[in-house]
Amino acid sequence: MIKVDVSHAIQKIDFEGYAKKIEEINRAIDEKTGAGSDFLGWANYPETYDKEEFARIQKAGDFIQKNCEALVVCGIGGSYLGARAAIEALNGLLPTNKVKILFFGNTFDPDYGGQILDYLKGKKFAINVISKSGTTTETSVGFRLVKELLEEQVGKEEASRYIFATTDKAKGALIELAKKYGYERFVLPDDVGGRYSVFTAVGLLPMAAAGIDIQAFLDGAKEGMKEYDTPTLNEAYKYAVARHALYVSGKSVEMFVTYKLQLVQLGEWWKQLYGESEGKDGKGLLPDSATFTTDLHSLGQFVQEGSKVLFETILNVEEPARDVAIPHDEDNLDGLNYLEGKTMDYVNKKAYEGTLDAHVSSGKVPNLVISVTKMDAFHLGKLLYFFMRACAMSAYLNGVNPFNQPGVEIYKKNMFHLLGKPGF
């Protein structure tokens, strides 16, 4: 169902040479003995998740679907990217479900903030505020703005029925607020970091509100858990080893490529996962992403003939959810009748095959290909678990802690100082 093909990697990858390391690292993940092991709760989460909370998530999702025109998800980084990636991957760019899912609390951009508030004016909407720390400024500012509008529109008491807080189970400013006003609460477990949190309420509640089958999503993740927790070279570890081998042989950029516009946000999630997990101690591949064929008309030139800093990782979705046939045209002035009766997917696949050959054979750009049968909730759950497990393996192969992000604090300190926050 998920296969990794390294036959276009240009260099030979010595998988056998990694066998001992894989065994050691897999044991360190299972026995929680590696760096950052306090944050390994995600590894078994698809099996150990709180079933009572899951039922409440489903119920809250139904409530939002029944009663609201929009859900505003307030969160940043790991507290929104997974949900956004999953919703877009499964529902597409022009979704037909009734509830519009908006993402806010991820920016200080006033133009976007103003548009969000204008859009919500007069609408029936709910808020899911998501923050593990409860103190992230972008999220707190965004939440304050939409909460004020909601309270203005329906009154403070009624508003509290439409606000759902996903946060730490015991500490932080958000939990105090949630307790005071009686918001329904969901937990981001202590031992799960933001970028590994998509299988918790962080990902599940927005997805449920978007009408996605979250049980199938978790079932897929569970299958991934069974398949990728092995002391031997499974497909996730094959990907981890291949990208590590390309890194040590001198590549510094990994470009994550898909041929589907609705996977742009999956690329954003993937970039955070790998960028924050590996980019430390002066090490790591720079994760970049592109959507082909769209970006072949922009970045394609660089990939083909630019400096040889990168390799590509192609996510190849074998079966599209739907397909569209190209019609006959009497005039044929566009010269396209040779494609008559062929489908968009057929053309997309030929573009993929042609590009793979162009980039590898003449561009000398190594390509790794990850193929997934289709993009439904089950396969997506499995795929996200695949990437998380591969990421932990890959970071440990690089000798870094996959679960911390000390570097992101520095900008915050400077910003707080400039804003005059007490204590800074």
42 vs 125, beta carbon nearer ligand PA5: 42
Tokens of 163: 């606000």
CA distance 310 to 359: 11
Phi, psi of 325 (to 5 degrees): -85, 145
Phi-psi region of 281 (alpha: psi -120 to 50; beta: other; left: phi over 0): left
CB of 139 to ligand PA5, least distance (A): 5
Q: 208 Cβ partners below 8 Å, 6+ apart?
A: 57, 58, 60, 61, 62, 64, 214
* Of 174, 170, 244, 222, residue with least CA distance to 15: 244
What residues act catalytically? Answer: 276, 297, 412
CB of 392 to ligand PA5, least distance (A): 14
Helices (H), 134-263: 137-154, 156-159, 173-181, 201-209, 214-228, 235-248
CB of 403 to ligand PA5, least distance (A): 9
8 vs 195, beta carbon nearer ligand PA5: 195
167 vs 367, beta carbon nearer ligand PA5: 167
223 vs 276, beta carbon nearer ligand PA5: 276
CB of 284 to ligand PA5, least distance (A): 15
CA distance 54 to 138: 27
59 vs 144, beta carbon nearer ligand PA5: 144
CA distance 137 to 21: 40
* Of 98, 85, 124, residue with least CA distance to 315: 85
DSSP per-residue codes, 287-332? EEEEETTGGGGTTHHHHHHS-TTEEEEEEEEEE-S---BPPP-SS-
Q: How far is CA 219 from CA 137, 204, 381, in A?
A: 34, 13, 7
CB of 133 to ligand PA5, least distance (A): 3
Tokens of 343: 């489908």
Burial 203-239 (b: 16+ CB within 10 A, else e): bbbbbbbbbbbbeebbbbbbbbbebbbeeebbbbbbb
CB of 274 to ligand PA5, least distance (A): 12
CB of 238 to ligand PA5, least distance (A): 25
CA distance 81 to 275: 13
131 vs 367, beta carbon nearer ligand PA5: 131
Tokens of 395: 């970071």
End-to-end Cα, the chain, rounded Å: 51
Q: How far is CA 258 from CA 7, 190, 261, 313, 379, in A?
A: 18, 33, 8, 9, 16
386 vs 403, beta carbon nearer ligand PA5: 403
Q: 31 Cβ partners below 8 Å, 6+ apart?
A: none
Residues that bind ligand PA5 (CB under 6 A): 76-79, 131-133, 136, 139, 193-195, 276, 405
306 vs 407, beta carbon nearer ligand PA5: 407
